[in-house]
Amino acid sequence: MAHCRVKEAEQILDREFPVLNRGFVRLVDYLGSDQRIVQAARVSYGEGTKTYREDRGLIHYLLRNRHTSPFEQVNFTFHIKMPIFVARQWVRHRTARMNEISGRYSILKDEFYLPDEKHVSLQSKDNRQGRAGEEVPSDLRKEILALLDEEQRQIYKNYQKLLSKGIARELARINLPLSVYTEMYWQMDLHNLFHFLELRMHPHAQLEIREYAKTIFSIVEKICPIACEAFKEHVLGSVRFSRKEMKALKEIIDGKEPPLDGKDLDRFMKKLKMLEDI
């Protein structure tokens, strides 16, 4: 099996793609492409790459039917700079291999995340983990950003004071906020990366991690355009129904009321609304 080289990938290696106010995503290395996926899928009966149309059809078939192992043959290594609160969500995806900068060995930089004014939002009343959609008055947004900025500056000033007194770095860092930036090398295969992207590109994911997920997807799309096309078609652009919901769909097709109530009905109606929006 020949080594896969993708011209579009070679052109962006080590290029920083900015995210948020001070973060970035950088492609460090890659292994494989769409070609590697079809080669791996066909190895069982000794046939390699066929025509573009046949390869595209195979990749769509594999993703649609959840044949995941060929996608595991493709790997990506990224260098990512992100706020710590984003990193703490990121490490929930335990199928990755990662190495993060250490505040025990290194002096952390005076770099903090401040949201854009338009992204300063109130707490949602019906979603414990999310922002509300209503408009926040401009004077309140400015006040919040000023408070965040002032506190970040004071905390970093105290951090520097502790270091100047010879206090150990591992102790001096402990009051630094979640908004300080960290960096990591992060490696994941395409199958698990698609799972990461499915969750972190979802509208319910926190805005900040969505921005990183969208940037990563735009990079992967240059290397595996057919696989990413299939991902958008069969994962991002799809709606999954449970067994109970499938029965409810049948009832609706037959002109009857769906046999659901309470939260089951609410979830079902939200999925139907998603179908309307496609």
| Residues labelled as active-site residues | 200
CA–CA separation, 198 and 228 (whole Å)? 11
Closest CA to 228 of 242, 239, 240, 214: 214
Which tokens go with 119?
């992204």
Which tokens go with 149?
């900025």
124-133: long-range pairs with CB below 8 Å, 24+: 127/204, 129/206, 130/204, 130/206, 131/207
The string over 21-47, giving b where at least 16 C-beta atoms fall within 10 Å of a residue's C-beta and e elsewhere, is eebbbbbeebbbbbbbbbbbbbeeeee
CB atoms within 10 A of CB 214: 14
